[in-house]
Amino acid sequence: MPSALAARSSASVWHPCTQMQRHEADPPLAIVRAQGPWLYTEGGARILDGISSWWVNLFGHCHPHIQAALTAQLAQLDHVMLAGFTHAPVVELSERLAQLSGLGHAFYGSDGASATEIALKMSAHYWRNQGRPEKSGFVGLAGGYHGETVGALAVTDIPLFRAAYAPLLRLAATVPSPDARSAQPGESAADVAQRAAAALHDWLAAHHQHTAALILEPLAQCAAGMVFYDAQYLRLARALCDRYQVHLVADEIAVGFGRTGTLFAHQQAGIRPDFLCLSKGLTGGTLALSAVLTTDTVYQAFYADEVARGFLHSHSYTGNPLACRAALATLELWQQHDTLAANAKLAQRLSAALAPLAAHPRVRHARQLGMIWAWDVDTPLPDFARRYQRQALARGLLLRPIGHTLYAMPPYVLDDEAIAHLTHNALAALNATLAEEDGASTHHEAALP
């Protein structure tokens, strides 16, 4: 029986990334409060948030430090337009992000997709300002995901999200993904990276004159199903972008803020992108905010007498003081806790506790990167993801496989009890789901992140 709130939700709310008819069988779960890694339902049941609420939460829900910062900011300044005005939270956040990334001139959007749009527009406009307007195309990796507004969808290679809107899009080119799983016998992940970079080389050699930027998710293509790849690809891609005068856009919307074991994933390759897109964990999972950072070279190409050479892009809530304050409070938590070192220890404990899952006879390509774990499940169940999610929720665990890839991307605040809860129930839900194989329909179902 759906709760009253769930029924009203199905009638009034159009839920994201959802075939709404599915809510007839699986109504949305009404959550009334959250604390740390736990979500609490109307009925008082608790659910461990094993995917950080779509990868946004870092330090747990309703963190008192972020809460206090937001409350204080709300009493002081709620919002003011950022064109012609400024305020302390946006200035302090821009300074902090510049220190952390080595890039500057923070431009703000609301969601991840708006950050992608900003980076693409800035890149093409840069080339136009340089007298090279023909450099306006983009290239991305196979399976890449950069958001779902029309511009971002054009560089997103997930056919399910794209097919219905193909006529609206100016599709970007794709080059092979350096997916470490595609290693041939005797090949290392770095060899795969080398091979994929050779394909990128060929593509750029032929098309660089019409290409503004290469956009990619450094080290982990999350929405593609937690596809991990070797840092060598980023080094080679950086060198090729330099050689062919093409910008490198690092979309760290999902992988930024410690998910891969470093503050930013591209740092593991020792490279610097021309554009860095941030969102999701930027506010610790409290408010929608995104930022694009870039180089002085790019910034200077827009700095002129002529208005039209400027970057005339805006969103009403650009640089919202509350969202910036939440981001600053989140960055303060980073500093206070030596988060990367703590995460490295937490990851070891989680990996040890997840060893039985990795060793499950139906699991292929068990893999871990920083605070992300993924397992490909060998099952004929076409709707494995939906069935697994249901089994996990019944055990008080939120995990939402992508296709046949089961993964965990939890907040950084799991205690021993939460670790035991996650690892025990992830395995129990897998066995319960596989037990449904007998007699299950073979109706094919699409993969949603």
Ligand X SMILES: *Cc1c(COP(=O)(O)O)cnc(C)c1O
**Which member of 59, 107, 127, 145 binds ligand X (CB under 6 A)?**
145
Does 279 interact with ligand X (rule: CB under 6 A)?
A: yes
* Choice between 41 and 149, CB closer to ligand X: 149
Q: Which of 97, 172, 226, 254 binds ligand X (CB under 6 A)?
A: 254
Nearer to ligand X among residue 157 and residue 251 (C-beta):
251
> Of the candidates 217, 230, 376, 383, which one interacts with ligand X according to CB under 6 A?
217
Per CB under 6 A, which of residues 72..101 are in contact with ligand X?
Answer: none
Give the torsion sign (CA, 9, 49, 96, 221).
negative
Minimal distance, residue 145 CB to ligand X, in Å: 5
Instruction: Choose one: 23-31, 108-116, 125-133, 351-359; the region binding ligand X (CB under 6 A).
Output: 108-116
Q: To 10 degrees, the CA torsion angle through 387, 389, 395, 396? A: -160
Which C-beta is closer to ligand X: that of 290 or that of 425?
A: 290
Nearer to ligand X, 253 or 426 (CB): 253
Give the residue carrying structure tokens 């021993």. Answer: 416
Alpha-carbon span 262 to 374, nearest angstrom? 18
| Shortest distance, position 287 Cβ to ligand X, whole Å | 12
Check residue 223 for interaction with ligand X (CB under 6 A). Answer: yes
Axis crossing angle, helix 416-434 with helix 384-394, rounded to the nearest 10: 130
Q: Which helix (H) or strand (E) holds 384?
A: helix 384-394
Position 328 contacts ligand X (CB under 6 A): no
- Asked if residue 276 binds ligand X (CB under 6 A), the reply is no
Is 289 a binding residue for ligand X by CB under 6 A? The answer is no
What does 387-444 look like in DSSP terms, one character per residue?
HHHHHHHHTTEE---BTTEEEE---S---HHHHHHHHHHHHHHHHHHHTT-TT-----
113 near ligand X, judged by CB under 6 A:
yes
**What is the rounded distance in angstroms from the CA atom of residue 413 to the CA atom of residue 333?**
12
Choose one: 69-77, 131-139, 248-256, 378-386; the region binding ligand X (CB under 6 A). Answer: 248-256
Alpha-carbon torsion, ordered 206, 209, 213, 217, to 10 deg: 10
Q: Which is nearer to ligand X, 148 or 383 (CB)?
A: 148
112 in contact with ligand X (CB under 6 A) = yes
- The residue type found at 8 is R
Residue number of the CB atom closest to ligand X? 112
Residue pointed to by tokens 């939120």: 398
Q: Which of 352, 394, 380 is nearest to 443 (CA)?
A: 380
Choices 92-100, 144-152, 318-326, 328-336 (CB under 6 A): range interacting with ligand X? 144-152
CA–CA separation, 178 vs 194, rounded Å?
8
Contacts with ligand X by CB under 6 A lie at 111-113, 116, 145-147, 217, 222-223, 251, 253-254, 279
